[in-house]
Amino acid sequence: MHPVLKLLTQRIALSLILLLMISVLIFAGTMILPGDVAQSILGQSATPEALENLRAELGLNDPPVTRYFQWFFGALQGDLGTALTSGQDITSAIGSRLSNTLFLAFWAALIAVPLAIFLGLLSVRYKDRWPDKLISGVTLASISIPEFLIGYVLMYLVAVKLRWFPSVAMINDSMNLWQKLNSIALPVAVLTLVVLAHMMRMTRAAILNVMQSAYIETAELKGLSTFKVIWRHAFPNSIAPIVNVVMLNLAYLVVGVVVIEVVFVYPGMGQYLVDHVSKRDVPVVQACGLIFAAVYIGLNMVADIVSILSNPRLRHPK
Amino acid sequence: MSEPLLKVRDLKIGATVYPPGEKPHDIEIVHGVSFDLMPGKVLGLIGESGAGKSTIGLSSMAYGRGGVKITGGEVWVNGRDILQSKLSDIRKLRGGEVTYVSQSAAASFNPAKPIMEQVVEAAVEQGKFSRKNAEARARALFDKLGLPDPDNIGERYPHQVSGGQLQRCMTALALCPEPDLVVFDEPTTALDVTTQIDVLMAIKEAIRDTGVAALYITHDLAVVAQVSDDIMVLRQGETVEYGPVNQIINEPQEEYTQALVSVRSIDHEEKAPTEEPVLSARNVTARYSGTKFDVLHNVNVDLYPGQTLAVVGESGSGKSTLARVITGLLPPREGDIQFAGRTLSPDFKNRTREDLRELQMIYQMADVAMNPRQTVGTIIGRPLEFYFGLRGAEKRKRIQELLDEIELGDGFIDRYPAELSGGQKQRVCIARALAAKPKVIICDEVTSALDPLVADGILKLLLNLQKIEDVAYLFITHDLATVKAISDNIAVMYKGKVQRYGGKTEVLSPPFDDYTDLLLSSVPEMKLGWLEEVIANRKMESAGN
């Protein structure tokens, strides 16, 4: 077997095992949360009999191991259970939320990733001169300001004063792509500002690290322009660390955008999760946790795979 | 008379230095050097490290490494003063008219790209050839330079070919754009002697066949004598002597050049073996974990008290692995190590403190073998504390004695490694090894990173210390001149086996086996025409090919 194939198989198997372990953790974690679902559904005035009946009905009296396997095999078949509070099927409820979240993350990533890498390359090209300092200053400032503040400031300037985009990012299925994009323009802008600095700084650092190498001198002595030296010779050797930080930020775009969703009243996963945490709706919390974990592990797995594939010593062994 | 291709006048080069504990300041490292190079001729620039030879070579491409800046003078290439040119014009010169071959091709090739792409890049970028023609030209060059499978080797990645092959690829890279001038910066220094000779011949023939002019930079006068028309001897940024190769080699005028020509003047009488060896390897077979082949096959050698056993061979011959087995870093698969009448534990973790004390090591890179944040006194004092429990004034007195033995004065005790020269650093490492009062010191390529004159000083010191301290050396080296200078017994290693073993005179006298003959005949001699002679008489190829 080709060594790369072996490595990749290992990596994927490891990710699956990790996901399995996380599912146990999520299940155990929601088990030890304080509070009682039956109590929170029926309220403080419920009689002990009513509580006991509801618990039996919801299957809350079964042993945890049984409930874990029921839940886990259900999840494998796409059945995440029903929400305790509303009785809705979780899979269909999450479906539209998840696609909204991915839609927002996709467009934010599409702008932020190439922009961050380009700015990183530009920073290296003009290292320690004013473009480098300007790029670093602006991106670091934007990551340092709390994202909700950036959100409200942008909303005030762009939506209220200039009236270019709507302040509330509502989308639904009857809108066409252009209308949807128009609607999410502001949250995309805020998310871009938030994730830009991390990726740009890492690109800059990874490439500068490589710029010390002897083969960069060789490239310079071939008479290549500085940008060609960076793009052709430094960048291909710094892909692994850059991809890693890009994937971390992509995961953040999916998993960590709850503040932005609240600010712009966007119907995504984050809001859905927070709502149900406050209602102690355990099956929904478990389902969201599992999906977030899968996204996180999946993206990091992609980062590992790209790192392995970008290494010519692994791709072309002796 | 035609115009010189490269005309350098009163070249001055400066750099910013950052000495520890002082403010950064500018110094001048080349003080007004002038020379001419006619089209198709080869000028050898020779000198020790710090002589400014690489810096001068790179100035012909208007390039300064790191903080190096050209501060004055003129550099004329093809009738233009390139120091007055715009950056865009300089870029056309680099990789087009003037190209560069560096010392370490392994580091100078981009690991992420196939060789061919890098070889043709300059030629295509400078508009000299179309991509297709450049590739055809590169394949022809691969063939001319004696690379195996010239039609397909370009598709490989740099890590997939050997060091000697990569150095030839680098030469192809430099010759591909049909330059007028190639700067060769120590192109064979990192190679084994047996490989060096092939690469040297390939370079020489390529220069002759393409009619390109070259600056050939090296610290090895015997090497430069084989390829140059003229030689310029440099020292500390100044010209010592400049003239035709014949005059420099055969009638050197300056004292410094004479010292370079006659270097390796050590005379060491071989000692007869005494009865009991202090250190013996018995039937040692070893392999690295996770690999499927043995790096050492049934190795038997003896080292006698107060004597030197030289272990010689090219890279990959297993000589450093032998040192790892002896020190217990790599437990052998079979066989054992006898030391002073006892069997040493295969793993250093199970050895006693006495075992460790009596077997010391000195390394090739003195730089990385010392903690840069410790003073010389702390470095040498550590084994004194550890093995003998010396403290305070007593320890300091012993450190002073050791510093005297290695011919460094009192002033060095409070200095940091960064304040020392390469030779001084190696001396401190020797003192640290001696501080443990060992019976045996393993010297792993201890002079390979040093300039010849400095290396000579270290070897003399080691021989002197051997007389005083009665310590035995296991001397690992690829350099046969060093072997001749220092050894009593010699083990020639080839592909993990001891090929030839015995007293110095016996090993170095005919009849030779083929490998020893190859190794001995590959050592460059300070003689014009030596290269052609030795290539014509070879019986076998080196393992590096």
Q: What is the pLDDT of residue A60?
A: 73
Q: What is the pLDDT of residue A120?
A: 92
Chain B environment of A237 (Cβ under 8 Å): 110-112
Q: Does B102 touch chain A (CB under 8 A)?
A: yes
Q: Could you count the other beta carbons within 10 Å of the beta carbon of residue B315?
A: 16
pLDDT(B529) > 90 = no
Q: What is the pLDDT of residue B264?
A: 58
Averaging pLDDT over each range in A86-95, A235-244, B143-152, B288-297, which range is the top one? A235-244
pLDDT in tens, B145-159: 888 888 989 999 998
B157:A312 CB<8 A: yes
Residue of A nearest to B177 (CA): A222
Lowest mean pLDDT among A281-285, B11-15, B76-80, B110-114: A281-285
Chain B environment of A312 (Cβ under 8 Å): 111-113, 157, 159
Q: In what order do the strands lie in the sheet with B25-37?
A: B25-37, B6-17, B68-77, B80-81
Q: Determine which of B63, B98, B102, B110 to mutate to test the interface with A (most A C-beta atoms within 10 Å).
A: B110
Shortest distance between the Cα of A300 and any Cα of chain B, in A, equals 23
Shortest distance between the Cα of A246 and any Cα of chain B, in A, equals 20
**List of domains in chain B:** 38-67+85-261 (3.40.50.300), 279-373+437-509 (3.40.50.300)
B99:A221 CB<8 A: yes
Q: Could you count the other beta carbons within 10 Å of the beta carbon of residue A68?
A: 18
Quick one: average pLDDT of B44-50? 83
Residue of A nearest to B103 (CA): A214
Residue of A nearest to B94 (CA): A223
Residue of B nearest to A318 (CA): B160
Please report the DSSP string for B186-243 in residue order.
STTTTS-HHHHHHHHHHHHHHHHHHT-EEEEEES-HHHHHHH-SEEEEEETTEEEEEE
Residue of B nearest to A226 (CA): B91
pLDDT(B257) > 50 = yes
Shortest distance between the Cα of A209 and any Cα of chain B, in A, equals 14
Q: What is the pLDDT of residue A35?
A: 65
Lowest mean pLDDT among A136-145, B172-181, B406-415: B406-415
The larger pLDDT score, comparing residue B368 to residue B442, is at B442
Lowest mean pLDDT among A108-117, B2-11, B528-537: B528-537
> Would you state the structure tokens that stand for residue B405, as one six-digit string?
């033995």
> Would you state the structure tokens that stand for residue B288, as one six-digit string?
């690295």
Under CATH, which architecture does the A102-274 domain have? Answer: Orthogonal Bundle (1.10)
Q: What is the pLDDT of residue B544?
A: 44
Quick one: average pLDDT of A238-260? 88
Chain A environment of B95 (Cβ under 8 Å): 221-224
pLDDT(A242) > 70 = yes
Chain centroid to Cα A272, Å, comes to 16
Q: Does A217 touch chain B (CB under 8 A)?
A: yes
Q: Is A76 helix (H, G, I), strand (E, B) or coil?
A: helix
Q: What is the pLDDT of residue A179?
A: 82
Quick one: average pLDDT of A35-61? 75
Shortest distance between the Cα of B78 and any Cα of chain A, in A, equals 17
- 8 A C-beta contact, residue A305 and residue A239: no
Q: Determine which of B59, B103, B104, B121 to mutate to test the interface with A (most A C-beta atoms within 10 Å).
A: B121
Residue of B nearest to A239 (CA): B112
Q: Does A223 touch chain B (CB under 8 A)?
A: yes
* pTM as predicted: 0.78
Chain A environment of B63 (Cβ under 8 Å): 220-221
A233:B104 CB<8 A: no
Report in angstroms the alpha-carbon separations of A141 from A144, A149, A259, B441: 5, 12, 19, 58
Chain A environment of B121 (Cβ under 8 Å): 219, 222, 224, 232
pLDDT band, very low/low/confident/very high, at B383 (cuts 50, 70, 90): very high
Q: What is the pLDDT of residue B542?
A: 53
Distance CA A293, CA A21 (A): 10
A220:B159 CB<8 A: no
Residue of B nearest to A235 (CA): B112
Q: What is the DSSP letter of A234?
A: I
Q: What is the pLDDT of residue B545?
A: 43
pLDDT(A85) > 90 = no
- Rounded (5°) CA angle B276-B281-B282: 95
Q: What is the DSSP letter of B43?
A: E
**Contact map slice: B 117-156 vs A, CB within 8 A:** 118, 121-122, 125-126, 156
Chain B environment of A316 (Cβ under 8 Å): 156-157, 159-160
Report in angstroms the alpha-carbon separations of B435 from A131, B369, B384, B395: 55, 16, 6, 10
pLDDT(B522) > 90 = no
Q: Does A218 touch chain B (CB under 8 A)?
A: yes
Q: Does B54 touch chain A (CB under 8 A)?
A: no
pLDDT in tens, B277-329: 889 898 999 888 777 788 888 999 999 998 999 998 887 788 888 998 999 98
| Among the partner residues A218, A224, A313, nearest to B102 by beta-carbon distance | A218
Please report the DSSP string for A149-218 in residue order.
HHHHHHIIIIIIIS--S-SS----TTS-HHHHHHHHHHHHHHHHHHHHHHHHHHHHHHHHHHHTSHHHHH
Chain B environment of A318 (Cβ under 8 Å): 159-160
Distance CA B323, CA B20 (A): 35
pLDDT(A283) > 90 = no
Distance CA A160, CA A157 (A): 6
Burial B442-465 (b: 16+ CB within 10 A, else e): bbbbbbebbbbebbbbbbbbbbeb
Q: Does A128 touch chain B (CB under 8 A)?
A: no
Q: Does A222 touch chain B (CB under 8 A)?
A: yes
- 8 A C-beta contact, residue B163 and residue B191: yes
The larger pLDDT score, comparing residue A314 to residue A43, is at A314
pLDDT in tens, B474-487: 999 888 878 888 88
Can you name the residues that pair with B27 across neighbouring β-strands?
A: B15
Distance CA B161, CA B52 (A): 31
Can you name the residues that pair with B441 across neighbouring β-strands?
A: B360, B473
Chain centroid to Cα B145, Å, comes to 23
B63:A218 CB<8 A: no
Q: How many CB pairs under 8 A join A and B?
A: 76
Q: What is the DSSP letter of B433?
A: H
Residue of B nearest to A218 (CA): B108
Distance CA B27, CA B462 (A): 35
B108:A218 CB<8 A: yes
> Would you state the structure tokens that stand for residue B170, as one six-digit string?
């680098």
Half-sphere exposure of A65 (CA within 13 A, CB side): 0
Distance CA B375, CA B373 (A): 7
Report in angstroms the alpha-carbon separations of B27 from B9, B12, B13, B24: 20, 11, 9, 10
Chain centroid to Cα B502, Å, comes to 27
Percentage of chain B lying above the pLDDT 90 cut = 21
pLDDT band, very low/low/confident/very high, at B265 (cuts 50, 70, 90): low
Q: Determine which of A209, A216, A222 to mutate to test the interface with B (most B C-beta atoms within 10 Å).
A: A222
Q: Tell me the backbone φ, ψ of residue B286, rounded to 5 degrees.
A: -145, 150
> Would you state the structure tokens that stand for residue B101, as one six-digit string?
């071959």
Please report the DSSP string for B157-177 in residue order.
-GGGS-HHHHHHHHHHHHHTT
- 8 A C-beta contact, residue B359 and residue B280: no
Chain B environment of A217 (Cβ under 8 Å): 65, 102, 108
Shortest distance between the Cα of B413 and any Cα of chain A, in A, equals 34
Q: Tell me the backbone φ, ψ of residue A89, rounded to 5 degrees.
A: -75, 125
- 8 A C-beta contact, residue A254 and residue A102: yes
Chain B environment of A233 (Cβ under 8 Å): 110, 113
Amino acid at A265: V
| Among the partner residues B100, B104, B110, nearest to A233 by beta-carbon distance | B110
Q: Where are the domains of chain A?
A: 102-274
